[in-house]
């Protein structure tokens, strides 16, 4: 089975690329979706988050209090790394289980959508596509999500640069333009990298 990783910084359009692949019939395992699952009431990561960040980190009903935790971690890189380490541990356990199940079923290709390309992610993937984007375009996209410019800049600056992302990937997709341009780039990679491996989508 071919495991394809998709990664990129906040506002780059990583999820849009994964969405194109999902629409073509590939199974996408989304780290953000799984992280919500492991931080919901009864989620596997909740006890570890409560222990590390205190009772304020857990909201009513036993769910992670995202607002409180964000205020802590996005002003302290060490705290962000600690949170990432906790959540990643449970996210990748879930991903590895699902990848194994798909392998047993004979699935030809699975896509892993992961925002931070940690070693556990890169070691799982046979190939990684990095989605990059002009910073001003990213800021405009994040403004549409309700983030003010200062907060959006802070979150971008806390992540790796495009160059650092690209150093860990096999192919880069510049998503600074329109959807038509993005679709063309993704289609080209599908033909060059997936069709050549007998993965028809």
Per the CB < 8 A criterion, the answer to whether 123 and 1 are in contact is no
Q: How far apart are CA 174 and CA 124, in angstroms?
A: 24
CATH code for position 48: 3.40.50.300
Per the CB < 8 A criterion, the answer to whether 83 and 49 are in contact is yes
- Tens digits of pLDDT across the chain (201 residues): 999 999 999 999 999 999 999 999 999 999 999 999 999 999 999 999 999 999 999 998 999 998 899 888 878 889 988 998 999 999 999 999 999 999 999 999 999 999 989 899 999 999 999 999 999 999 999 999 999 999 999 999 989 999 999 999 999 999 999 999 999 999 999 999 999 999 998
Q: How far apart are CA 46 and CA 148, in angstroms?
A: 29
Per the CB < 8 A criterion, the answer to whether 169 and 130 are in contact is yes
Token digits for 118? 């940690």
Range of the domain at 130: 2-197
Q: How far apart are CA 110 and CA 29, in angstroms?
A: 8
């Amino acid at each position: 089975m071919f495991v394809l990783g998709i990664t990129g910084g906040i506002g780059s359009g990583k999820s849009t690329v994964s969405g194109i692949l999902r629409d073509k019939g590939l199974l996408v395992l989304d780290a953000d979706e799984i992280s919500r699952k492991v931080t919901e009431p009864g989620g596997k990561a909740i006890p570890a988050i409560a222990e590390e960040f205190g009772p304020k980190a857990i909201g009513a009903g036993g769910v992670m209090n995202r607002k409180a935790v964000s205020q802590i971690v996005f002003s302290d890189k060490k705290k962000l790394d600690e949170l990432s380490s906790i959540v990643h541990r449970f996210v990748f356990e879930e991903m590895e289980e699902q990848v194994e199940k798909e392998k047993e079923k004979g699935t030809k290709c699975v896509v892993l959508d992961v925002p931070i390309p940690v070693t556990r992610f890169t070691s799982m993937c046979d190939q990684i596509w990095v989605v990059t984007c002009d910073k001003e375009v990213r800021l405009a996209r994040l403004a549409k999500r309700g983030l003010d410019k200062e907060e959006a800049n802070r979150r971008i600056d806390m992540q790796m640069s495009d160059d650092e992302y690209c150093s860990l990937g096999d192919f880069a997709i510049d998503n600074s333009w329109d959807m038509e341009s993005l679709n063309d780039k993704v289609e080209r990679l599908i033909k060059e990298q997936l069709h050549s491996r007998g993965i028809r989508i």
